[in-house]
Amino acid sequence: MASARTPRTADDGSGSRRKSSNAATLGDVATHAGVSPATVSRVLAGNYPVSRSARQRVLRSIRELNYVANTHARALAGVQTKTIAFVLADVRGPSFAEAAHGVEQEAARLGWLCLIGTTQGDRERELAIVRLMREQRAGAVVLIGGVADADDYNEQMTELAYSLRAAGSLLVLCGRPPLAPGVPAAVIGYDNEEGAYAITSHVLAQGHRRILFLGGEERHTTSLGRLEGYSRALKTFGVEFDPSLVEHGVFTRASGYQLTKKRLAGARDFTAVFAATDVMAAGVYAAVNEAGLSVPDDISIVGYDDIELAQDLRPRMTSVHVPYEELGRTAAKVAADEDHQREDWPGLQVTLKTHVVVRDSVARLD
Amino acid sequence: MASARTPRTADDGSGSRRKSSNAATLGDVATHAGVSPATVSRVLAGNYPVSRSARQRVLRSIRELNYVANTHARALAGVQTKTIAFVLADVRGPSFAEAAHGVEQEAARLGWLCLIGTTQGDRERELAIVRLMREQRAGAVVLIGGVADADDYNEQMTELAYSLRAAGSLLVLCGRPPLAPGVPAAVIGYDNEEGAYAITSHVLAQGHRRILFLGGEERHTTSLGRLEGYSRALKTFGVEFDPSLVEHGVFTRASGYQLTKKRLAGARDFTAVFAATDVMAAGVYAAVNEAGLSVPDDISIVGYDDIELAQDLRPRMTSVHVPYEELGRTAAKVAADEDHQREDWPGLQVTLKTHVVVRDSVARLD
DNA sequence: CTGAAAGCGCTAACAA
DNA sequence: TTGTTAGCGCTTTCAG
C-alpha cells in the first residue's frame, strides 16, 4: 500500500530542487516487508541464506511497490556492472552489424547489457568513446573492426588497455591486429591476409593477371591486411605487383562506385577487380553496369566479407566469408568471462577461419 | 608524470576483498590540488564561480591523475545521466540500422551516450529490456520499429510510459503507432499506410490487378499498416481485395524467398508482388530468378523502405522511401530535449513523409 | 569564493 | 538467519 516515504503528490510543482524520482528504493521495500535493507539485498542477490518467510514477504513487497534496483547505486557499491560496451565505426556496415548482433545475442544470453558507441572511423573519437566507456565502468570494451593505423595508435591503445584493466575491465580487440605481447587485452580476429590471399589466388587461377585492388583508407588495418594477401598471392603466381593497380577509398558503396568509374574512364588495363569489402563491390557492380560492361565477361569482381548482399548481386558474387557473428559472440563470451580479472590472466588471442565462397562473378580467362 | 597515487604493482596479489579499482577519485584530485572536493566538483560542473587559481590547480591535477568522473556516483547523486537507450528487434535490419545510426549520430552530437538492446521481435523481451533501461535510469528510451500487437500491449506500454516519466525519463515510440492520447510519450513516425497506398497505386496504375502481398507477422503493426494501404489502393482502383493474395511471414530475406517459392509452386495467379520490406523483396527476387522467371517481365516486384539494396538488385527495385535516419535523429533530439520533463509537457507526435521511388521492377501491363 | 557535511541507493563486513 | 553500520564517489545545501 502507501509506502512509508512521503508521497510527493500534492505538495509538488513548487520546484523542489532535487528532482529525485518517486520510485521505490530498497529501503522502501525493506520497510514494507518489515525486514532490514540487508535482507532485501540478500534475497535480491540470492547469494546468502534467507528464511523462507522473509523471502516471501520481500518478494511480495517488491512486486507491490514495483521496485526496480538502481543500477548506479549498485555499481557504486562495488558490484561490477554487467555491461559490455562496444564500439564500431558505423552501425550501418552490414559486417559490423553482424558482429554487433553476435555481441548483443551472446551478451543478452548471459544477462549482460550492451552499450554502443560509433566513431565514424575517427581515431580521436574512438579514443574519446573508450574513455567514456571506462567512465561508465563497463565490464569490457569491445572494439569492432579495423582502424586507420597511425604512429601513436599502438601507444595510446596500450595505455587504454592498462587503464581499463586497472578499473577491472577488459579491452577486447575484434577484427583488429593485436597490440604488443603482454598487453592485457583479448584479441578476437580472423586472418585478413589469408582470406585475401585465398581469393586473389582463386582469381589468378582463373587466368587473370591484371587485378585492380580497391582498398579503404591507406593505413586502415583491415585494408592493409587484405592488400598484403593480395600481393602475396601475386607473388605466388609469379605476377609482378603493380602499384598502379591499387586504389584507396573508403569502405562504402559510393566509394567503390567512384573509384571504378574513374578507372573505367581511363585505359581499361585490368580484367578483374578485388574490392576490399562487399559493400564497395556493390559500387563496382553499379559502375561496371553503368559503363555498359558485363560482369564477369568484361570485368570479373570479387569482394570480401560475404554479407547477404553478395547473393543478391547479379551475377552472384564470389567473396571471402568471415564469421562475423561468431566473432562478436566470442568477443562477448570473453568479455563476460570473469576469468580475465585474475591477476595472472595470460591474455587471449583467438583467430577465426575464413573461406572463399565461389559464385558467378569471376570469368575463366583462357 | 608519475602520478601521486600508489601504484599497485608490487604489494598486490594478496586478495584485498574489495576489488575497488585504483582509479583516481574526485577526492584524490581535491587532495592533490589542495582544495575541497566541493571545489573540484564545481570546476567540473562549471556551474558555479571558482577562483582562477583554484580552477587552474584542479585542472592540472585532473590531468596529472588521469581522473575520470564516475558516472554511477554522479547518477546516484541525482544528475540525469545523459544516456539514451534504444531498443530494436535486430541490429542487422538495414532500416533499423539506419534509424539507429540517426539516433547515434544525433546523440553523439549532443554529448549523449547510447545504450542498445535488441529483442528479436519478442514482446516479452522488449518489455524486460525497457524495464532494464529504466533501471539504468536512461534519460529516454526509444523503441524503434513495429511490434506484434497484442491485447495487452497498449496497456503494458502505457504503464511503462508513466513509470518512465515518473523516473524523469521519456518513452519515445519510433515507427510505431501512438498510445492513447494523454499518455506521456513521444511518437516519431511515418505513415505506413500512406506509403503502401502510394506504391500499390503505382503498381495498379501499370495495369496489374493480381498483386501478391507478402507481410510480416500477422499482428505486426508495421505489416498491418502496409497491408491497409495495399487494400485501400485496391479499393480506390475498384479491385476486389482477395485474402488469398496475402501471405504472412517475417521481415527477412529467407522468409520472402520461402513464401514466394511456395506460391510459385502453385498456380501462378498474380503478376506482381508487394513485399512489405525490401529485405523480403530480395528473397522474392531470388525465388523468382530461381524459378527461371524474369523480373519484371513475368513478375513485377516492389518493396518498402528503400534501403541501399534496392539499387543493387537487378532490375533495380521500385520502393517506398522512408527517412529512417531522420526518424532516428528526430527521436534523439526529442529524447535529449529536457523540455519533456516539464510538468505540463503536452506530448509530441511527429509524422515524417515517405515517397515512392520508381525504378525498373514493375512492368507495364497492357 | 570555499569548505563541511549530508545524503543518493545499494552492498558487504561485522555483530548479534 | 538477521540487523547494524560503514562506505562506494559525487553533488549540493548551508555556513563561513
Element at B176 (helix H, strand E)? none
Q: Which residue of B has its CA nearest to A115?
A: B115
Task: Examine residue A315 and say whether the peptide bond preceding it is cis (omega within 30 degrees of 0).
Answer: yes
The residue type of B243 is P
Name the E strands within chain B. Answer: 83-88, 113-118, 140-144, 171-174, 185-190, 211-215, 246-248, 272-275, 300-302, 319-321, 348-352, 355-357
Q: Which residue of B has its CA nearest to A167?
A: B21
Q: Which of residues 138-197 of B touch A (CB under 8 A)?
A: 163, 166-168
Q: Is the CB of B20 under 7 A from strand D?
A: yes
Map grid coordinates 565490464 to a residue. A139
Q: Which residues of A touch B70 (CB under 8 A)?
A: 76, 135, 137
Residue B184 — φ and ψ, nearest 5°? -75, 85
Contact A312 B313 (CB under 8 A): yes
Instruction: Say what the pLDDT of residue A122 is.
Output: 84
Instruction: Say what the pLDDT of residue A19 is.
Output: 37
Count of residues in chain B: 366
Among residues of chain A, what percentage have pLDDT more than 70?
94
Q: Which of residues 299-328 of A touch B (CB under 8 A)?
A: 308-309, 311-314
Q: Which residues of B touch A163 (CB under 8 A)?
A: 66
Contact B116 A118 (CB under 8 A): no
Whether the CB-CB separation of B172 and B141 falls below 8 Å is answered with yes
Instruction: Say what the pLDDT of residue A21 is.
Output: 58
Instruction: Say what the pLDDT of residue B21 is.
Output: 59
For residue A257, give Cα distances in angstroms to A130, A301, A311, B54.
33, 13, 19, 56
Whether the CB-CB separation of B83 and B114 falls below 8 Å is answered with yes
Contact A78 B314 (CB under 8 A): no
Whether the CB-CB separation of A350 and A120 falls below 8 Å is answered with no
Whether the CB-CB separation of A4 and A32 falls below 8 Å is answered with yes
Q: Mean of the pLDDT values across residues A336-350? A: 86
| Per-residue confidence band for A261, with pLDDT thresholds at 50, 70 and 90 | very high
Q: Is the CB of B329 under 7 A from strand D?
A: no
Q: How far is A229 from chain B (nearest CA, A)?
A: 28
For residue A60, give Cα distances in angstroms to A8, A51, A55, A163, A255.
24, 14, 8, 43, 59
Contact B73 A70 (CB under 8 A): no
Instruction: Say what the pLDDT of residue B5 is.
Output: 33
Residue A67 pLDDT greater than 90, yes or no: no
Residue A360 pLDDT greater than 70, yes or no: yes
Count of residues in chain A: 366
What is the C-alpha to C-alpha distance for residues B40 and B45, in angstroms, rounded to an integer? 9
Residue A243 pLDDT greater than 50, yes or no: yes
What is the C-alpha to C-alpha distance for residues B45 and B43, in angstroms, rounded to an integer? 6
Q: Mean of the pLDDT values across residues A163-183? A: 89
Q: How far is A159 from chain B (nearest CA, A)?
A: 11
Q: How far is A136 from chain B (nearest CA, A)?
A: 6
Instruction: Say what the pLDDT of residue A142 is.
Output: 94
What region does A142 belong to: left with phi over 0, alpha with psi -120 to 50, or beta?
Answer: beta
C-alpha Rg value of chain A to the nearest Å: 27
What is the C-alpha to C-alpha distance for residues A251 and A192, in angstroms, rounded to an integer? 15
Q: Tally C-beta pairs within 8 A across A and B.
A: 143
Residue A132 pLDDT greater than 80, yes or no: no
Instruction: Say what the pLDDT of residue A176 is.
Output: 93
Q: What is the bridge-based pairing of β-strands B113-118 and A113-118?
A: antiparallel
What region does B356 belong to: left with phi over 0, alpha with psi -120 to 50, or beta?
Answer: beta
CA of A148 to C1' of D10 (A): 37
Strand C: protein residues, Cβ closer than 7 A = A 20-21, 23, 25-27, 37-38, 41, 44-45, 47, 67, 69-70, 73-74, 76-79; B 17-18, 34-39, 42, 48-51, 53-55, 73, 76-78
Q: Is the CB of A47 under 7 A from strand D?
A: no
Q: Is the CB of A78 under 7 A from strand D?
A: yes
Instruction: Say what the pLDDT of residue B186 is.
Output: 96
Residue A346 pLDDT greater than 90, yes or no: no
Q: Which residue of B has its CA nearest to A134?
A: B68
State whether residue B20 sits within 8 Å of chain A by CB. yes
Q: In chain B, count of helices (H) and strands (E)? A: 13, 12
| Per-residue confidence band for A6, with pLDDT thresholds at 50, 70 and 90 | very low
Greatest extent of chain A over all pairs of C-alpha atoms, in Å: 88
What is the C-alpha to C-alpha distance for residues A59 and B353, in angstroms, rounded to an integer? 48
Whether the CB-CB separation of A173 and A335 falls below 8 Å is answered with no
Instruction: Say what the pLDDT of residue B257 is.
Output: 98
Q: Which residue of B has its CA nearest to A281?
A: B312
Burial class (CB in 10 A: 0-12, 13-18, 19+), B171: buried
Q: How far is B232 from chain A (nearest CA, A)?
A: 31
Closest C-alpha among A169, A168, A229 to residue A193 = A229
State whether residue B342 sits within 8 Å of chain A by CB. no
What is the C-alpha to C-alpha distance for residues B321 and B334, in angstroms, rounded to an integer? 23
The residue type of A32 is H
Q: How far is B52 from chain A (nearest CA, A)?
A: 27
Determine how many CB atoms are found less than 10 A away from the CB of residue A118: 26
Element at A73 (helix H, strand E)? helix A71-76
What is the C-alpha to C-alpha distance for residues B12 and B123, in angstroms, rounded to an integer? 48
Contact A108 B116 (CB under 8 A): no
For residue B4, give Cα distances in angstroms to A168, B141, B250, B251.
20, 41, 59, 57
- Which nucleotide shows the minimum CA-to-C1' distance to residue A50? D1
- CA A122 centroid distance within chain: 15
DSSP tag of B4:
S
Closest C-alpha among A282, A322, A288, A287 to residue A302 = A282
Q: Is the CB of A50 under 7 A from strand D?
A: yes
What is the C-alpha to C-alpha distance for residues A108 and A83, in angstroms, rounded to an integer? 10
Contact A72 B75 (CB under 8 A): yes
- Which nucleotide shows the minimum CA-to-C1' distance to residue A38? D3
Q: Which three cell numbers stand for residue B18?
A: 574489495
* Residue nearest C6, CA–C1′ metric: B77
For residue A363, give Cα distances in angstroms to A180, A208, B338.
42, 9, 59
Contact A91 B101 (CB under 8 A): yes
Contact B116 A116 (CB under 8 A): yes
Which tops the pLDDT comparison, B144 or A68? B144
Q: Is the CB of A19 under 7 A from strand D?
A: no
List, as own/partner pairs, every contact residues A37-45 make where C-beta atoms lie below 8 angstroms and the sequence separation is at least 24, other chains included: A44/A69
Task: Examine residue B296 and say whether the peptide bond preceding it is cis (omega within 30 degrees of 0).
Answer: yes
State whether residue B253 sits within 8 Å of chain A by CB. yes
Task: Examine residue B315 and say whether the peptide bond preceding it is cis (omega within 30 degrees of 0).
Answer: yes
Q: Which of residues 53-72 of B touch A (CB under 8 A)?
A: 66, 68-72
Instruction: Say what the pLDDT of residue A316 is.
Output: 97
Q: Which residues of chain B have pLDDT under 70?
A: 1-22
- For every residue of B229-273, DSSP letters joined together read HHHHHHHHTTPPP-GGGEEE--SSHHHHHHHHHHHHHS----SEE
Contact A166 B341 (CB under 8 A): no
Closest C-alpha among B87, B189, B90 to residue B140 = B87
Q: How far is A61 from chain B (nearest CA, A)?
A: 17
Q: Which nucleotides of D are covered by protein (CB under 7 A)?
A: 1-5, 7-13
For residue A194, give Cα distances in angstroms to A176, A278, A353.
14, 17, 9
Q: What is the bridge-based pairing of β-strands B171-174 and B185-190?
A: parallel
Determine which of A46-55, A110-119, A188-197, A250-259 has the lowest per-residue pLDDT on average: A110-119
Task: Examine residue A296 and say whether the peptide bond preceding it is cis (omega within 30 degrees of 0).
Answer: yes
Element at A144 (helix H, strand E)? strand A140-144
Q: Which three cell numbers stand for residue B219?
A: 499482428
- CA A40 centroid distance within chain: 38
Q: pTM for the whole thing? A: 0.84
Element at A117 (helix H, strand E)? strand A113-118
Residue A12 pLDDT greater than 50, yes or no: no
DSSP tag of A113:
E
Instruction: Say what the pLDDT of residue B18 is.
Output: 37
Determine which of A20-34, A47-61, A199-213, B262-276 has the lowest per-residue pLDDT on average: A20-34
For residue A309, give Cα distances in angstroms to A222, B10, B101.
20, 54, 20
Contact B309 A312 (CB under 8 A): yes
Q: Is the CB of A27 under 7 A from strand D?
A: no
Closest C-alpha among B363, B306, B330, B285 to residue B107 = B330
Residue A100 pLDDT greater than 80, yes or no: yes
State whether residue A127 sits within 8 Å of chain B by CB. no
